[in-house]
Structure 1
Amino acid sequence: MFTFSVTAVHAAITRGRTDALMNGGFRNPHYGLAPGKDEKPGVWLVGDEGVYIMSNGKLAEGQRSLVVYAEECDPKTNPDYWHYKRQYFGGDDGIDYLDAEMLVRLIGAMPLATHLTITMTDDSMSITPIRR
């Protein structure tokens, strides 16, 4: 399970929208394999050196996306992040696109939620708002 604060999720979505406005749209969620298809607000859930969400607006030269690490899988705060990532995300690097509209609706359905949890299995992903 990976946990992200609702505030951080909103910040990543907002940053993606701002980057898109300033730099000509959103990056392709299909990794460039389907140009012009589904280029809309969202975040990427990325597993590589830790697990994090990343904004998806197009970027200016030298600019970087906003990156927010999962509480359990941040290399700066958890010395066992690699083992945690391997156990719950898998050993290989990976990326999944999460639609911003879906995330905002999910968070809005539970107004007292403070965090989102993302749970992955071999063939599914579930996203649940929680209150801490």
Structure 2
Amino acid sequence: MFTFPIMAVRKVIAHGEEDAAANGGFRNPYYGTRPGEGEKSGFWLVGDEGVYIISNGKLAEGQKPLVVYSNECHPKGTDDWWDYKRRYFGRDDGIEFIDADLVVPSFDRNFGATYLGIRLTENDISFSLITR
């Protein structure tokens, strides 16, 4: 499982929405191979050098998206990040679009929750709210 502070997830979503409003919409997470899919408010879950979420609004030239690493898989803060990424995300790099409508309503109903947990299986992505 990968965990992210809910406040950070909210910031990533808001940052993407602000970028989209300023720069003409949302980026396609699938490099154009699935046109129109995932081009809405949300974020990308990325497995690369670590596992992180990233804002998805279109960017102005030179602008960078907001990136937040999972607590378990940050290459500069977790010694075993490489093994953890391979075990729970997979060996290959990848990207999954997460629609804001899938997570924000649960944040709004559960004010005591502090972290979003994301669990990947071969066929599914599941979410849980965690209170720490």
Q: Which amino acid aligns with 1:93?
A: D
Structure 2 equivalent of residue 63 of structure 1: 63
- The structural deviation recorded for 1:29 is 3.7
Structure 1 equivalent of residue 109 of structure 2: 109
- The structural deviation recorded for 1:45 is 0.3
- The structural deviation recorded for 1:31 is 2.9
Ranges in structure 2 where 5+ consecutive residues have no aligned partner: none
1:92 aligns with 2:92: yes
- How many residues were matched structurally? 132
- Deviation track 1:82-121 (CA, whole Å, cap 9, x = no partner) reads 0100011011001100001221112123121100001111
Instruction: Report the Cα distance in structure 1 between the residues aligned to 2:37 and 2:99, rounded to whole angstroms.
Output: 13
Structure 1 equivalent of residue 22 of structure 2: 22
1:10 aligns with 2:10: yes
With structure 2 as the length reference, what TM-score do the two structures score? 0.94
Structure 1 equivalent of residue 83 of structure 2: 83
Q: Secondary structure at the match of 1:72?
A: coil
Moved over 6 A (4+): none
**Cα distance change, pair 115–40 in 1 and its aligned pair in 2 (3 A):** same
- The structural deviation recorded for 1:60 is 0.6
Identity %: 56
The question of whether the paired residues in 1 share the 8 Å contact of 2:25 and 2:39 is answered with yes
Give the alignment's Cα RMSD to 1 decimal.
1.2
- The structural deviation recorded for 1:36 is 3.7
Q: Secondary structure at the match of 1:14?
A: helix
Q: Secondary structure at the match of 1:18?
A: helix
Instruction: Report the Cα distance in structure 2 between the residues aligned to 1:13 and 1:87, rounded to whole angstroms.
Output: 27
Ranges in structure 1 where 5+ consecutive residues have no aligned partner: none
With structure 1 as the length reference, what TM-score do the two structures score? 0.94
The question of whether the paired residues in 1 share the 8 Å contact of 2:49 and 2:75 is answered with yes
The question of whether the paired residues in 1 share the 8 Å contact of 2:13 and 2:100 is answered with yes
